[in-house]
Amino acid sequence: MLRPDSFPSHLAERITDHSAPSASASSGRFVIYWMRTAVRAHENPALDVALAAGQQLGVPVFVYHALSEKYPYASDRHHTFILEGARDVEAECAARDIGYAFHLERPGHRGPALRTLAARAALVVTETLPVAPLDWLTDALAEATTCPVWSVDTACVVPMPLVGKAHTRAFAFRDATAALRTARVSADWTDVTPHTPAFVPDDLPFEPLRLADADIAAMVAHCEIDHGIGPVPHTAGGTEAGYARWREFVRTGRLDRYAAKRNDASIDGVSRMSAYFHYGMVSTFRIVRECAARGGQGADKYLDELLVWRELAYAFCYWHDAPDTLDAVPAWARETLARHEPDTRTRHSWETLARSCTGDELWDTAQQSLRVHGELHNNVRMTWGKAIPMWSSNASESLERLIDLNHRYALDGRDPASYGGLLWCLGQFDRPFSPEVAVLGTVRPRRSDEHQQRMSFPAYRAHVSRSAGLSPRVTVIGAGISGLACARTLHDHGIAVTVLDKSRGVGGRMSTRREGTWQFDHGAPSIRLDDSRLLRFVESWIEDDVLREVAAGALVGVRGMNALAKHLARDLHVRTGVHVASMSRAGSGWAIADREGGQHDADIVLVATPAPQAAALLSTVEHANGAMGALAASLASVSMLPCWSTMVVFDGPPPTIVSEALVGGELRTDSPVVHRAWRQSSRPGRSSDEAWVVHSEGNWSAENVEAEPAVVATLVADALLAQLQIAGTVRHAAAHRWRYARVQTGLDDLCLFDAANGIGACGDWGAAGATTRSHPSVERAWLSGIALAGRVLGRATSRSRPVP
């Protein structure tokens, strides 16, 4: 019988058995090493346990490495870093003659591959990472399969299972683990030799991805994840990049100066290795041995951070049932925070925090570092974290926001060490402090203005404001939702963006028209934004009084439907009244000519107009190559229907049908003339007159697309009164033709991008396929704009390989 205690002690002490009581290895064909957070093929205890188990059982071993679209905070940033690490480990496994298969979840490549493989396995080995979701995914697999499932501590010098309890103070942990640590700090690690040639089952339930020649940016672009958080160009994933950064840290003497310089965020005094430790791309054991051998105050302090503070957090998460909840905060801290919950505070929405708009200079700069560079100096992180309770409703929401902002943007997020730092901000691993202060009570305060005085803030701000390695000048043509979402995402990553639009204002079909005292949302009278990747934005827009929910899922702009567009454009460089006429190549970039004779230069041009207009604009480019021709042809294949939008005001009281048939102020009928109607006077801040916007059906609008607006207005107004069954007098009727209003046949791709030429397109035709039912129109436009921004960001981080 296969037992953990049958292995050498340096491996056995690291194993946690998750197996069901009835689990058996007897009939399995192979051992699977399910690689997740030890992305290396050297000094890897989990790999060694798998190899040793294979020897005992007489079966081959292979590495199964997968990347899901569904893990929390899945984004281009995390995906790219993980895939770059996987590319290195694939090569390392090949060099050691170890079988390796990578499964990238994406359209056409989904399914329960691991469970299918586990049903044939003798044993599944993975890493111990005691935080959600990896801990419960391990347990879920153990419950669902008949073979044993083990996890192995690959991260800590003192194995988590040996610690015995969740320590709450660093000095207690340091003392309790001193002997265990001393016995292991300088121990060499000998990798287990594979006992069979490289093996991968020939009946894999997925198509393995060969990473050596894969275009990572292109692969990431096809995954259904958050494309609005781009890769970090200056921090490549992988063992090679991780050790290179470490060697540079040592070579330049910064390790020797670490004790004296580590807390000054305005200088380059830290190693910036945490992301590589989190994903196990480098061996903690090797780094620790090298520090111990080097000696000195700097190395000693670095060891204290690694072996005490980091491993304290890992062991705490291992031994505590719920390290991501307030239950992980000591009782005294929960009590004092609860007592001070009624204290006055300035609440900020999630978006205000995420986009560095609080007005606190140090905090906003720190958040910019997190958002753009994917990292936060540890000493600044403490001050950053202490401010969030001052801007949140209560301690629970504070912890939720700390976790969200850190895990979403930081390359080292979703790590036990992260929870150690975040929980410390609410009192964990600390003691009460007097006197009490507002909001935090006796939880140690840390004011940003005081921290700012202790450092060279201009130097820190300059360091954070440096380019992340992205320097293209981007022009977005079109200031509708798609173009603004794209531009805003690029701007938030530090890229210079100019938006050009031919209209007098922003919003495109998300527009609002004023006629005297009346106001009409005559483009998109309401919107739905249901995609989970939009949830945090929607909640912020509602909280910041940009949008309001008028029915289940139906949203309207508080001051008109263009309120959202104005909000998105607030800090962008937008030039309205500029009608782009043509584009031409200018060196490696673009020259954009407008109808007024102006010229605009850009390195990258992104077209966010209706597909027929975008195709026509691309046709103005002389000597278009094959890729550009294909892009134009794709856009030309999109078919769109027009829409007559009629604005009607009539005398009289609200019709009876208002209370009987309207949902959220919207009326739907079978009439092609009055296909959908929205009661404007029911919206916030509107005139009490009976004002309506009517959209005629698409095919009817196409048949009458060249009709005179006045004729359409009269016809629609009369039909509306008949539909509402009242005898009113029309006071105002005006019709507006949206020539490209609704996508009839769209594209499967979210966006189009030709990286070689630096040109792309986005719009509500994205992810529409043959029909438009997959996402509502405005939601598709938003997702398409974000996806195109992601392609630009991915292009900049395409390490030595162009994105097709």
Over residues 259-275, mean pLDDT: 95
Q: What is the pLDDT of residues 664-692, one digit of tens each?
A: 678 888 899 999 999 888 787 788 888 99
Instruction: Please state, in angstroms and rounded to a whole number, the distance separating the CA atoms of residues 712 and 708.
Output: 6
Instruction: Classify 640-744 by CATH class.
Output: alpha beta
Judging by beta carbons within 10 Å of its beta carbon (0-12, 13-18, 19+), is residue 597 exposed, middle or buried? exposed
Instruction: Please state, in angstroms and rounded to a whole number, the distance separating the CA atoms of residues 673 and 663.
Output: 20
Q: Are strands 589-594 and 599-602 parallel, antiparallel or unpaired?
A: antiparallel
Cis peptide before 435 (omega within 30 of 0): yes
CA neighbor of 176 nearest in space, from 54, 315, 28, 286: 315
Cβ-contact 553, 799 below 8 angstroms: no
Instruction: Please state, in angstroms and rounded to a whole number, the distance separating the CA atoms of residues 698 and 171.
Output: 71
Region class of 280: left (phi > 0), else alpha (psi between -120 and 50), else beta: left
- What is the identity of the amino acid at 732? H
Contacts for 624 with CB less than 8 Å, ≥ 6 apart = 618, 632
CATH no. for 4-164+190-221: 3.40.50.620
Share of the chain above pLDDT 70, in %: 96
**Dihedral angle, C-alpha 747, 749, 751, 755, nearest 10 °:** -120
Helix axes 331-339, 395-409, angle to 10 degrees: 110
CA neighbor of 489 nearest in space, from 61, 763, 735, 789: 789
Instruction: Please state, in angstroms and rounded to a whole number, the distance separating the CA atoms of residues 480 and 608.
Output: 7
Compute how many other C-beta atoms are within 10 angstroms of the C-beta atom of residue 145. 21
As annotated, the residues of the chain forming the CATH 3.90.660.10 domain(s) are 640-744
Long-range contacts formed by 721-729: CB under 8 A, 24+ apart: 721/650, 723/667, 723/669, 723/671, 723/674, 723/677, 724/655, 724/657, 724/667, 725/655, 725/656, 725/657, 726/650, 726/652, 726/655, 727/652, 728/650, 728/651, 728/652, 728/690, 729/650, 729/651, 729/652
pLDDT at 649: 94
Instruction: Classify 326-465 by CATH class.
Output: mainly alpha
Over residues 146-173, mean pLDDT: 97
The answer to whether residue 294 scores a pLDDT higher than 70 is yes
Instruction: Please state, in angstroms and rounded to a whole number, the distance separating the CA atoms of residues 520 and 512.
Output: 6
pLDDT at 804: 31
CA neighbor of 729 nearest in space, from 739, 738, 720: 720
Q: Helix, strand or coil for residue 131?
A: coil
Structural Rg of the chain based on CA atoms: 30
pLDDT at 803: 32
pLDDT at 771: 42
Instruction: Please state, in angstroms and rounded to a whole number, the distance separating the CA atoms of residues 32 and 205.
Output: 14
Over residues 323-341, mean pLDDT: 97
CA neighbor of 279 nearest in space, from 475, 4, 40: 40
- What is the identity of the amino acid at 438? A
Q: How confident is the model at residue 104 (pLDDT cuts 50, 70, 90)?
A: very high
pLDDT at 657: 57
Q: Which residues of 719-739 are buried (b: 16+ CB within 10 A; e: fewer)?
A: bbbebbebebeebbbbbbbbe
The answer to whether residue 628 scores a pLDDT higher than 80 is no
Instruction: Please state, in angstroms and rounded to a whole number, the distance separating the CA atoms of residues 519 and 680.
Output: 8
pLDDT at 663: 61
Integer CA distances (angstroms), 281 to 39, 194, 245, 366, in order = 5, 20, 12, 26
Pick the CATH number of 473-511+562-638+755-791 from 3.50.50.60, 3.30.590.20, 3.20.20.70, 1.20.140.10: 3.50.50.60
Over residues 35-64, mean pLDDT: 98
Judging by beta carbons within 10 Å of its beta carbon (0-12, 13-18, 19+), is residue 202 exposed, middle or buried? exposed
CA neighbor of 640 nearest in space, from 669, 616, 676, 666: 616
Question: Which pTM was predicted?
Answer: 0.95
Q: Are strands 547-551 and 518-520 parallel, antiparallel or unpaired?
A: unpaired
- Residues 327, 332, 333: CA angle, nearest 5 degrees: 65
pLDDT at 740: 94
As annotated, the residues of the chain forming the CATH 3.50.50.60 domain(s) are 473-511+562-638+755-791
Q: What is the pLDDT of residues 182-193, one digit of tens each?
A: 999 999 999 999
Integer CA distances (angstroms), 663 to 149, 254, 542, 687, in order = 52, 64, 20, 20
Cis peptide before 133 (omega within 30 of 0): yes
As annotated, the residues of the chain forming the CATH 3.40.50.620 domain(s) are 4-164+190-221
**Average model confidence (pLDDT) across the chain:** 93
Q: What is the pLDDT of residues 494-542, one digit of tens each?
A: 999 999 999 999 999 998 998 888 999 999 988 999 999 999 999 999 9
As annotated, the residues of the chain forming the CATH 1.10.579.10 domain(s) are 326-465
Among 8-22, 146-160, 625-639, 640-654, the minimum mean pLDDT is found in: 625-639
